[in-house]
Amino acid sequence: MSRETEEALRGRIIDVVRAQLETEGYDAVQLREVARRAHVSLTTIYKHFPTRDELIVSALEAWMAENAYVAMESPLPGESIYDGLMRVIRHVFEPWERHPRMLQAYHRARVGAGAQRLDNHGLDAVLPVAAAVLAGADEIYLQDIAAILSNMAFALLGQCADGTLEVTQALTLIERAVYRLTADNAGDATAAVHRRESLGAGPSTLGPEIAAPFRRSDATD
């Protein structure tokens, strides 16, 4: 076969898996059914994709490239770091809001064998724009923002995937975190100290409104 024909065949198999993930979900992707729908043999599938995990990751990469990672713009003139970061984050999250099964599939694949590959694919797509948004930032500040937001985003994706959180709620939480990371919070911190001292607060006076954010969503009393 020619190289073009091999690529077309590979693309046809991936298209079948993308359609299954988007309409039926992660568990629906079974290699015999993929072979039937793509009109190829199992041998042909294994030739291009040695494992089911690799096939699903390849399909997710293709979907993300066409939806979440497509045509991200560089910073606009005068755009703040807050606005720039939220523009990039919304760009990635909004396709998942429209296609929740793909979010679930992405999360399932990312906690499995495809984690490093999916992470690298996302970083390759997002980092150039994020780096432009944060150009000129102190290196430690940049590292802190990257560590906090990446870990927060992946944690929230897990809650969206299991249905305990809506994508819009996750975006709201991330938006608040980005604000806190990019705003001058000295005033809020100082005011909190004054309120704490005026209340005489200690470990025994930690109220439920303060404790709640630190509890896991699945925690039991």
Q: Which segments of the chain does DSSP mark as H helices, in order?
A: 3-23, 31-38, 42-48, 52-66, 81-98, 100-110, 115-133, 139-161, 167-182, 186-199, 208-211
Mean pLDDT of the chain: 86
Segment 68-85 shows an average pLDDT of 85
Number of independent structural domains in the chain: 2
For 151-206, write each residue's pLDDT tens digit. Answer: 999 899 999 999 999 999 999 999 999 999 988 878 878 888 888 788 765 555 54
Tracing tokens 């000295």 back to the chain, one arrives at: 186
Confidence of residue 220 (pLDDT cuts 50, 70, 90): very low
Residues 91 and 48 in one domain: no
Segment 93-110 shows an average pLDDT of 93
Residues 21 and 105 in one domain: no
Q: What residue numbers bound the domain in which 44 lies?
A: 3-52
Residues 122 and 174 in one domain: yes
**pLDDT for res 187:** 81
Confidence of residue 1 (pLDDT cuts 50, 70, 90): very low
Residue 213 lies in a domain: no
**pLDDT for res 201:** 55
Indicate the residue type of 150: S
Confidence of residue 219 (pLDDT cuts 50, 70, 90): very low
Residue 70 lies in a domain: no
The alpha carbon dihedral of 52, 115, 7, 12 has a sign of positive
Segment 44-62 shows an average pLDDT of 95
d(CA 158, CA 9): 33
Residues 28 and 132 in one domain: no
Residues 29 and 111 in one domain: no
Residues 37 and 134 in one domain: no
Q: Which CATH number covers residue 37?
A: 1.10.10.60
For 176-187, write each residue's pLDDT tens digit. Answer: 999 999 888 788
Residues 171 and 101 in one domain: yes
Residues 188 and 94 in one domain: yes
Confidence of residue 56 (pLDDT cuts 50, 70, 90): very high
**pLDDT for res 221:** 42
Segment 60-87 shows an average pLDDT of 88
Residues 100 and 181 in one domain: yes
Q: Is the distance from CB of 107 to CB of 158 less than 8 angstroms?
A: yes
Residue 203 lies in a domain: no
Q: Is the distance from CB of 101 to CB of 182 less than 8 angstroms?
A: no
d(CA 159, CA 11): 31
Residue 144 lies in a domain: yes
Residues 89 and 154 in one domain: yes
Residues 89 and 183 in one domain: yes
Residue 73 lies in a domain: no
Residue 214 lies in a domain: no
Residue 200 lies in a domain: no
Residue 85 lies in a domain: yes
Residues 108 and 187 in one domain: yes
